[in-house]
Chains A and B, each alone.
Chain A
């Protein structure tokens, strides 16, 4: 297998130029998909026979919730890469993605509460999924807090890598512990291995908005990473050339 792409990722300059091209593509493609998916889902998808129109919040809630978990998993992997291969970009990735994931966890909490009111009759229950997303949100807050508090950049990078790894190891334990503890939430809407239980015209917009949100978040993260790379490499020649070229 050819590993050059992996080694190239170690170079901030290469990444900057790569992200310059693909960040925009991801962002705009994702935005269009997201808008299409959400309008389709909110306006045109058929009603649920049980929950009526209130189920439509699924087109925001589920993508955000899935993305919040994916972001943390990605951070854990990046943390591992940062500690083992000491790649410069891995801590940059964690720093860029943590706020995105935290926002997604927050959106899924709020939209879940709004969804819970008409279906369960209450804004909040101490149910397994709700609790584990709340904990996920707190874990994100911890990562962001330690990143911002430690002034020494190298120490901060190590710290977020360590805490991301520990968090990822803990996440399944937290998930299953609260699941055994209490469950009211409906089971997962999407499973990779099974055919969805919804009709096509219901899950297709969901797929659109989920993919759109992923690409959107990828684009935003790439931009955030670009900024961080510029700050960290500000003494390098290629950054000076880049800045001069754009005439900032």
Chain B
């Protein structure tokens, strides 16, 4: 197994199991739909709240898709093969997260402009929204991967993983919605986006290491 063949195989597996990707997308759309129905469908409420609604829905959808990141590999014994493959487990984790990120975020980003319009977000704000998703979502995936690795050996680990990981998502959500809100008020928003990027980079440095430790502990 070389790293490139591993990455290709991961992408192919995700592509052939389209349902799990669709699940995340549909979940995202449904959460967004609940807000106008549950709170207030008028543009007066939705337009200022759009950034927050979309980001909360994205965080939940990503958490849902990351939750089962290592489950299949744990059940069929692939994780054990990771440990004996001679590659660094951190690198394998990183490649797997990257593959998952590509396959989940691309559909989300494609759906984003439509949902933004449904929430009456002004057209000139949609690029800001897209950039915030592209810059901030890697942090969500990487932090989520730690939780997924910790709970991989549990049968009903989903709730536990939510409990562990959601508090860690708070800064990402705050800065992402902060960027959108600042753009709405026609204030500078690059600062918030830069901090989002910094959080993603920090997660990139720490998460593969921690996830690898957790995987080794779970498999042994």
Please tell me if the beta carbons of B214 and A162 are within 8 angstroms of each other in the complex.
yes
Q: Which of A35-43, A147-155, A227-235 lies at the interface?
A: A147-155
CB interface residues, A 198-233, toward B, < 8 Å = none
Q: Is residue B33 contacting chain A, with contact meaning CB distance below 8 A? A: no
Partner of A169, one of B153, B160, B202: B202
Q: Which residues of A have CB within 8 Å of B148?
A: none
Contact string against A for B residues 180-220, beta-carbon threshold 8 Å, 1 for contact and 0 otherwise = 00000000000000000001001000100010011001101
Measured between alpha carbons, how far is A6 from B146 in the docked complex, in Å? 30
**Which residues A139-157 have CB closer than 8 A to chain B?**
139, 141-142, 145-146, 149-150, 152, 154-155
Q: Which B residues are CB-close (under 8 A) to A145?
A: 160, 163-164
Alpha-carbon separation in the docked complex, A217 to B214 (Å): 30
In the bound complex, do residue B171 and residue A154 qualify as a contact, i.e. CB atoms below 8 Å apart? no
Residues of A within 8 A of B202 (CB): 169
Query: B213 touches which one: A138, A162, A173, A177 (CB < 8 A)?
Result: A162
Residue B122 is within 8 A (CB to CB) of chain A in the complex: no
Among residues 162 to 215 in chain A, which have CB atoms less than 8 Å away from a CB atom of chain B?
162-163, 165-167, 169-170, 173-174, 177-178, 180-181
Instruction: Name the prevailing secondary structure of the A interface residues.
Output: helix
* Interface flag for B102 (CB, 8 Å): no
Partner of B178 from the list A83, A138, A173, A181 (CB cut-off 8 Å) is: A181
Asked if B153 and A152 make an inter-chain contact with CB atoms under 8 angstroms apart, the answer reads: yes
Is B3 among interface residues, defined by CB-CB distance under 8 A?
no
Whether a CB of chain A sits under 8 angstroms from the CB of B170 is: yes
| A149 cross-chain contacts in B, Cβ below 8 A | 154, 157, 160
Within 8 A of B (CB), among A38-68: none
Interface size on B, residues (CB 8 A): 27
Q: How many residues of A contact B (CB 8 A)?
A: 28
Q: Mark B128-156, 1 if CB is under 8 A from A, else 0.
A: 00000000000000010010001101100
Chain A's nearest CB lies how many Å from the CB of B165?
Answer: 8
Closest CB in chain A relative to B40 CB, distance in Å: 19
Known contacts A83-B213, A150-B154, A167-B168; can you find 8 more A-B pairs with CB under 8 A? A135-B170, A152-B153, A158-B217, A159-B150, A162-B150, A163-B164, A166-B146, A177-B171
- Interface residues of chain B, those whose CB is within 8 Å of chain A, are 143, 146, 150-151, 153-154, 157, 160, 163-164, 166-168, 170-171, 174-175, 178, 199, 202, 206, 210, 213-214, 217-218, 220
A residues near B (Cβ < 8 Å) are 83, 135, 138-139, 141-142, 145-146, 149-150, 152, 154-155, 158-159, 162-163, 165-167, 169-170, 173-174, 177-178, 180-181
Q: List 11 A-B contacts (CB under 8 A).
A: A83-B213, A146-B151, A150-B154, A152-B153, A154-B220, A158-B217, A159-B150, A162-B150, A166-B168, A170-B168, A178-B170
Closest 7 pairs between A and B when the two form their complex, measured CB to CB: A158-B217, A177-B171, A142-B164, A138-B167, A177-B174, A173-B171, A159-B150
